[in-house]
Structure 1
Amino acid sequence: MKGIKIFSPATIANLVCGFDVIGLALDFPKDEIYLYKTNNPGIHIHRIYKSSLPNDPMKNSAFAALQALLKKYQKIQINEEEKIGFKIELIKNIRPGSGIGSSAASAAGVVYGANVLLGNPFNTIQLIRFAMEGERIASGIAHADNVAPAIMGGVTLIRSYNPLDITKLHSPNQLWVSIIHPQIEVKTSDAREILKQKILMTDAIKQWGNVGALVAGLYREDYELISRSLEDVIVEPIRAILIPYFYELQIKCKEIGALGGGISGSGPSVFMLSKGNYTAKKVIEVMNQVYSPLQVDYKTYISPINLQGIKWSEIF
């Protein structure tokens, strides 16, 4: 039996104006995954720590993603008599339902680790496709805006799903992220259900302009342009009702220097981008000031952009 230790990062999806197409990887928090290659066919979820996630394979994103990889590998392996299976242990430091890519971290982490143990037969796009099957289990939709940055690192842009076409964007070295996670439940399915199916052309034009300017701002490291581009006129106005004190949080953080921010994924976490660690820490203080009087438990995180994505420390 051969094993690998993996660190799979939290991620921010729907980067304000980049709904379903732009995401980024965080340095903190991150899941720890121990993955073992065995000669016992099939996939076995041995233990899950720090979470009540189901061991039921049909309800677990890690299982679904690894199953997709193993199915493909069995079609291409040279030695058809070789018996291959995997055993998974998850340490869930990213809380499920937080909106910062918990299911994506599990799915992306196991396929990345399995690929290393098998000798890297699959490329990055193939790994993302496998991980997307885990997201299908978690949210009902095989989306890539969390698993792509988890695997590729940095900020990623999904140009197309058919064919899958993803590019890694430039990440300014002073860009930091502050996050508050209210301990409330916002189901991805519910958050999608309330969205409008049709939008005004004027709103679409404004959104396209913001996405293009955000990409330009990232490459030019123009923090003022990034700030002006962090505006969502399509999704955020609808989903904001699901997050307590969302607009107050947004306004107060920008008043003390945050570039801007919005809802992470489908929520309930809210993130703000800042230039530099000092401002990012001040943003955390403001987040505490807004939420501490409320009768809502919450957690906060602060992180730079994770440029590498998933890391592995040892094979044993």
Structure 2
Amino acid sequence: MKEIKVFAPATVANVVCGFDVLGFAVNEPGDEVVMRLVDKPGVRLLKIIGDEGRLPLDSARNTVSASVQHYLKHLNREDVGVEIELHKKMPIGSGLGSSSASTVAGLYAINQLMGNLLSAKELVPFAMKGEELACGYGHADNVAPALMGGFVLVRSYDPLDLIALPTPSNLFAAIVYPEVEVPTKDARQMIRAKVLLKDAVTQWGNVAGLVSGLFLNDIDLVGRSMKDVLIEPVRSILIPGFEALRALAMENGAVGFGISGSGPSVFALVKDEATARKITDAQQKHLANLNINSNAYVSSVNAEGPRVI
């Protein structure tokens, strides 16, 4: 096989209380990569479609090509020639793991072309290099679920320890992306360096409750645990009408609501698709009244991760 086209999914990171340690993949949106092996050694990013010129074509600076370079260096195969086309199918800076989806699509593609030498979990450290390039910190709560599918817990970063979690049946995500800018680097700088012990205890209990709810197939327990006393109170001020969006979600049947990644996207977890669409419709109408354009996505949890298309 000399050429391949791969789709990789968007992700919801943090899942409210699990800052940098929890995330799950969704079926839409996502990004696509076309990759081919060529005779001339080196990794070249030929073109990017759909980014409005915002992303670098320099192979050392783009997350897709840079992570492929790390992968080939790990295999001692820097003699391999690779050409890449990136098709951005999801909004940049949405809080839905845009850079992660691109990076994961590229890594999955090169791994397939090289004979599927590494598992999805083994690809995560290379994807984290892409995240480090994108936002200054190589976190895994986007790239791990994008590669592995489903819910993933990052139990430890040093050493990296990833745990695939079960997904309750009939769980849907209602996602709304308000078209306002919240740069990831800026959102991270707002976070407090020190927290009160009582707040930390509350957060630990909620993370444990959320993980327990996933294992027990108890969506209501998942919802009760979706409370964040550390990050959300700070980041939510960057999202116009955040509390109103939360109220609309809960009034219309959500079990839990929060910020996706660093925002501005918000998400609700619900028990059926119809409720999810009712929530996104109400939230989009509210944002339109604020003269804010938005996109909505309703999806079950993506269990497969990237795929060849």
The residue number in structure 1 matching 2:105 is 109
**Is the CA contact 2:22–2:154 (under 8 Å) kept in the aligned structure 1?**
yes
Q: Per-residue displacement from partner, 1:240-296 (whole Å, max 9, x unpaired)? A: 100000011011210110111211111111111111101111111111221111122
Q: State the number of aligned residues.
A: 307
**Is the CA contact 2:67–2:127 (under 8 Å) kept in the aligned structure 1?**
yes
What TM-score do you get using the length of structure 2 for normalisation? 0.96
Determine whether 1:160 maps to 2:156. yes
Partner Cα separation in structure 2 for residue 189 and residue 50 of structure 1? 22
Tell me which moved more, 117-126 or 187-196.
Answer: 117-126
CA drift of 1:233 comes to 0.6
Show the 5 A alignment for 1:64-75: 64-74=66-76
Q: Per-residue displacement from partner, 1:108-158 (whole Å, max 9, x unpaired)? A: 111111111111222333310011111111101111110000000000000
The residue number in structure 2 matching 1:11 is 11
Q: Per-residue displacement from partner, 1:147-196 (whole Å, max 9, x unpaired)? A: 00000000000000111100110011211111111111111111111110
Show the 5 A alignment for 1:5-154: 5-51=5-51, 52=53, 53-74=55-76, 83-154=79-150
**Is the CA contact 1:39–1:83 (under 8 Å) kept in the aligned structure 2?**
no
AA of the residue aligned to 1:9: P
CA drift of 1:32 comes to 1.6
Q: Percent sequence identity over matched residues?
A: 46
The residue number in structure 2 matching 1:254 is 250
Q: Secondary structure at the match of 2:14?
A: strand
**Is the CA contact 1:32–1:91 (under 8 Å) kept in the aligned structure 2?**
yes
Partner Cα separation in structure 2 for residue 41 and residue 126 of structure 1? 24
**Is the CA contact 1:104–1:147 (under 8 Å) kept in the aligned structure 2?**
yes
Q: Per-residue displacement from partner, 1:188-240 (whole Å, max 9, x unpaired)? A: 11111111001011111111111111111111121211111110011000111
Question: Gaps spanning 5+ residues in structure 1: where?
Answer: none
| Partner of residue 273 from structure 1, selected from 253, 256, 269 | 269
Partner Cα separation in structure 2 for residue 49 and residue 210 of structure 1? 40
AA of the residue aligned to 1:248: A
The residue number in structure 2 matching 1:228 is 224
| Partner of residue 288 from structure 1, selected from 281, 284, 289 | 284
AA of the residue aligned to 2:264: P
**Is the CA contact 2:249–2:257 (under 8 Å) kept in the aligned structure 1?**
no
Question: Gaps spanning 5+ residues in structure 2: where?
Answer: none
- Tell me how large the CA RMSD over aligned residues is: 1.3
